[in-house]
Structure 1
Amino acid sequence: MKQLTFAPRHHQLTNINTWTPDSRWLAFDVRPSGASFTGETIEQVNVETGELDVIYRAAQGAHVGVVTVNPQKAQYVFIHGPENPDESWRYDFHHRRGVLVEKGKATNLDAMDITPPFTPGALRGGSHVHVFSPDGEWLSFTYNDHVLHELDPKLDLRNIGVALPFGPVNPDIDHPREYAGSRWCALVSRTTPTPRPGSDEINRAYEEGWVGNNGYLKADGSRQRRALAFIGDTLSTRGEKVPELFIVDLPQEEAVWRQASPGSAVSLPAPPAGVMQRRLTFTHARRYPGLATVPRHWARSNPQGSEIAFLMKDDNGVAQLWLISPEGGEPRQLTCGEGVQSAFNWHPSGDAIGFVQQNRIVLCDAHTGNITPLTPVQENEISSDAVVFSPDGEKVAWMQETAGFRQLWMTSTRR
């Protein structure tokens, strides 16, 4: 084990894509906690030398956080709060944007247009947890809508979106909080404020993950090049929230995406016609229905795109890892006994999954479920937010309370 940061402040890792492609730098922000948003810098630490580097410093009262790295090059993306916040426009789910930094230059990821007629390719609210696809070309994010929030906060439903490699998007600037963006953005999930109990309808889409480094193989042998798995909140026949796993196949063609609806004054933006989400899990009849919400986790596919991992309680009420094909079918329980105490990630080989168990970092064999501890049980608490492998698969990093602050730690994956 090796402690990577030592300054008397908190350091926050995002749940995936925190390493530079050369496996030498680990990117982080300095929020006091994952639930706060008061950090002013995006930084990285060299895991070999301990050198610290400030990637971006916010100005004009803005704050930044939740940084991820392009898997193919030293390009960073993170949440940026509003400059010069005031009573009418302060940081919130629907008041934030993505910012890209490459070679010291910062550009907006998504455009903002909140005055009708709305601009295709622009958003009308805030984007969050921006994650590059494995090839570094597309990005996914979660989204909340300012326009509907102003109309009725109950209509501002969490959704999943993508930022696509064509742009820029330049809306007419009719409001001081509007701005241009470098990527074309569109939503890919469909939500409704009032899902029908017992149906596949959802009122919230979140915690998404890219499927496979190169998509996945369909049953007919064709390859779906891009897809996102995510959690969607359904309602049971008794009207109770039941989170289930969903997937959405994404078309490649630019022309298709340009047909996505930017929404109206009374409706959310919508995916292009034909882009439909598909439900993968059906847990309403289980003793503990739904995917586990504690610990917080994100749907994660293996690099091969053949299995998607998620957390669900066993019949004893313990959160365990389960695997399912992108085509659906019965999920396979991978862990048993002690359960999983954190978000998780696949090792780059696709042969193992890393997470926290009994306050130690462990590797779980993705075929057998066998557990290999990578650290001893720790006296100080390990954060459940992130366990992240380096691209070369040689190292794994996490956050741990140390001398009163959340510090970054690393260990080798070799045992």
Structure 2
Amino acid sequence: MPEQQHTSGRYGHTLHATQVFSPDDSWVVYDTRNDDTHIGRTEGIEMVQIATGEVVRLYTTSQQTIHGPGVGAVAWNPGRDEIIFIHGLQNADAVKPYGITRRFGALLKPHGTRAIRHADARTVQGPFIPGALRGGTHAHTWSGDGAWISFTYNDAVFEQDLRTVGVMAPVQRVAVPVTDCENFSGEYFTVVVATVTEHPRPGSDDIEKAFDECWIGQDGYLDDNGQHHTRAIAFQGNVRREDGAVVTEVFVADLPADITQPADGLPLAGTPHMRPQVPRGIYQRRVTDTTQRKYPGLQGPRFRLRTSPDGAEIYFLMKDDAGLVQVYRVPTTGGHIIPLTYLACAVQGQHNISPDGRWISFLADNSVWVIDAAGGMPRRLTVRTDDARAPVGGALWSHRGDRLVYNRYDADGFLQIYSIPFF
């Protein structure tokens, strides 16, 4: 089927790695970056109507400079008219520019007043407050039911920052007594959910960095005992091999129903000498051990983990014995790693799972492809192009599973949005 171009403005139109369609599939949301690394200098959030190509500006930053505040990575709630995106702190300047510890999740209703609200509370002044963090949240993703939000996090207070992952739950609004550009209240109760350490033991499951997570299933998953885990996160974690080499593996964090309760002696908000700690009832486990492979660890272009809709399988990228990046899967409960692709070229971008769980989209050989999640021969959906016009990032499914959208640069060097029907 022929692809369709939906945007043409002489600026960037960057799709987030997930959740870009409105609940009715009529709109696609994006930010105005022309380069993935330029969130700090990006001023706009927009949406385009798939049927007509109508472009609507949803939000523009105030006093935008190359130093910030910056916006980007926008995700649409799967069940309602609300988006969340990265927003840099409003006081960004040359001395304190946009950065990994200086951003938050901004909420906005595309068909409402379009005033932004803070999803997460932030305070960098003690005493620290449970439910608020004191750094930067980013790469936000709604849970399958649209109620919770996951994110990756970098702390601004602790001297040795270690990236980790967290969640926001709509259990209570968190009020911060001193409010300014650095400290503000938020609509969600926010905590970290992955345990990281600056001194990982070689050969252990200790993690020194947790990142690029996803929610498991539309409604969690069943473990080997038949117990249903309603909310769980899969994430990538860096461990140390016996020889000290860093290897990236798949981890899972099962979440308790109540994330407001701290473990004994481990404050959720942290202290001046301790990072924020995970709530009581978090169960973290390692799913993969790839340390003995020829090319150990998850590898490839930057990607986020994906799971089947029932939560039974986790999908990721890794090199085969020929050194080519392929798509793999592993049971969420642990077990054998199974390759899904056997390409003669490397996978080039994010893989994504269709809403019914049957198909996996991915980029390779400068084209959009799909493959049956059960295995088989992959199908090339778009014509192969030269490098300058190759699809960028990943191909994302509509809620109905009948369309894939993706980015590619036009002849003038501007990142545009394209789509192709899928039947």
TM over 0.5: yes
- What is the deviation of 1:174? 7.0
Q: 1:304-383 maps to which residues of 2 (within 5 A)? A: 304-338=310-344, 339-379=346-386, 380-383=388-391
Q: Is the 8 A contact 1:111 1:180 kept in 2?
A: yes
1:398 matched to which residue of 2? 406
1:341 match: secondary structure: coil
Q: Is the 8 A contact 1:24 1:48 kept in 2?
A: yes
Distance, in Å, in 1 between the alignment partners of 2:335 and 2:181 is: 49
- What is the deviation of 1:60? 3.3
Q: Deviation digits for residues 54-82 of structure 1, max 9, x if unmatched?
A: 11111133221110000001200000112
2:282 matched to which residue of 1? 275
C-alpha spacing 1:260/1:218, structure 2 compared with 1 (3 Å): farther
1:172 matched to which residue of 2? 177
Q: Is the 8 A contact 1:396 1:412 kept in 2?
A: yes
Residue 258 (structure 2) pairs with residue 237 (structure 1): no
C-alpha spacing 1:351/1:260, structure 2 compared with 1 (3 Å): farther
Distance, in Å, in 2 between the alignment partners of 1:106 and 1:210 is: 25
1:271 match: secondary structure: coil
2:417 matched to which residue of 1? 408
Q: Which segment is superposed worse, 77-86 or 137-146?
A: 77-86
Distance, in Å, in 1 between the alignment partners of 2:94 and 2:375 is: 54
Distance, in Å, in 1 between the alignment partners of 2:262 and 2:220 is: 18
Q: Deviation digits for residues 150-187 of structure 1, max 9, x if unmatched?
A: xx3xx111000101112211112176511111111000
Q: Deviation digits for residues 280-307 of structure 1, max 9, x if unmatched?
A: 0001111101011x21111100111111
Amino acid across the alignment from 1:230: F
Q: Deviation digits for residues 296-347 of structure 1, max 9, x if unmatched?
A: 1111001111111001111111111111111001111111123421111101
Residue 304 (structure 2) pairs with residue 298 (structure 1): yes
**Selected match of 1:26 from 8, 25, 28:** 28
- Tell me the matched-pair count: 408
- What is the deviation of 1:120? 0.4
Identity among equivalent positions (%) equals: 36
Q: Is the 8 A contact 2:214 2:304 kept in 1?
A: yes
1:106 matched to which residue of 2? 116
Residue 217 (structure 2) pairs with residue 212 (structure 1): yes
- What is the deviation of 1:31? 1.2
Residue 198 (structure 2) pairs with residue 193 (structure 1): yes
Q: Deviation digits for residues 8-65 of structure 1, max 9, x if unmatched?
A: 1111011110110111111000112111121111000001000011111111332211
Q: Is the 8 A contact 2:102 2:135 kept in 1?
A: yes
Give the ranges of 4+ consecutive aligned residues of structure 1 lying more than 4 Å apart after TM superposition.
257-260
Q: Is the 8 A contact 2:131 2:260 kept in 1?
A: no
Amino acid across the alignment from 2:347: V
Q: Is the 8 A contact 2:89 2:181 kept in 1?
A: no
Amino acid across the alignment from 1:139: I
2:121 match: secondary structure: coil
Amino acid across the alignment from 1:407: Q
Distance, in Å, in 2 between the alignment partners of 1:248 and 1:3 is: 39
1:5 matched to which residue of 2? 7
Distance, in Å, in 2 between the alignment partners of 1:206 and 1:173 is: 30
1:387 matched to which residue of 2? 395
Distance, in Å, in 1 between the alignment partners of 2:53 and 2:223 is: 45
- What is the deviation of 1:219? 1.0
Amino acid across the alignment from 1:48: A
TM-score, with structure 1 as normaliser: 0.95
Distance, in Å, in 1 between the alignment partners of 2:223 and 2:379 is: 33
Q: Deviation digits for residues 182-202 of structure 1, max 9, x if unmatched?
A: 111000001111211111011
Residue 44 (structure 2) pairs with residue 41 (structure 1): yes
Distance, in Å, in 2 between the alignment partners of 1:108 and 1:167 is: 13
1:15 matched to which residue of 2? 17
Q: Deviation digits for residues 62-109 of structure 1, max 9, x if unmatched?
A: 221110000001200000112132344321000001100022232101
Q: Deviation digits for residues 335-364 of structure 1, max 9, x if unmatched?
A: 112342111110111011001111111111
Amino acid across the alignment from 2:389: E
Distance, in Å, in 1 between the alignment partners of 2:391 and 2:238 is: 25
Residue 145 (structure 2) pairs with residue 138 (structure 1): no
TM-score, with structure 2 as normaliser: 0.93
Show structure 2 runs of 5+ residues with no match.
none
Q: Is the 8 A contact 2:90 2:181 kept in 1?
A: no
Q: Which segment is superposed worse, 114-123 or 166-175?
A: 166-175
Q: Is the 8 A contact 1:374 1:412 kept in 2?
A: no
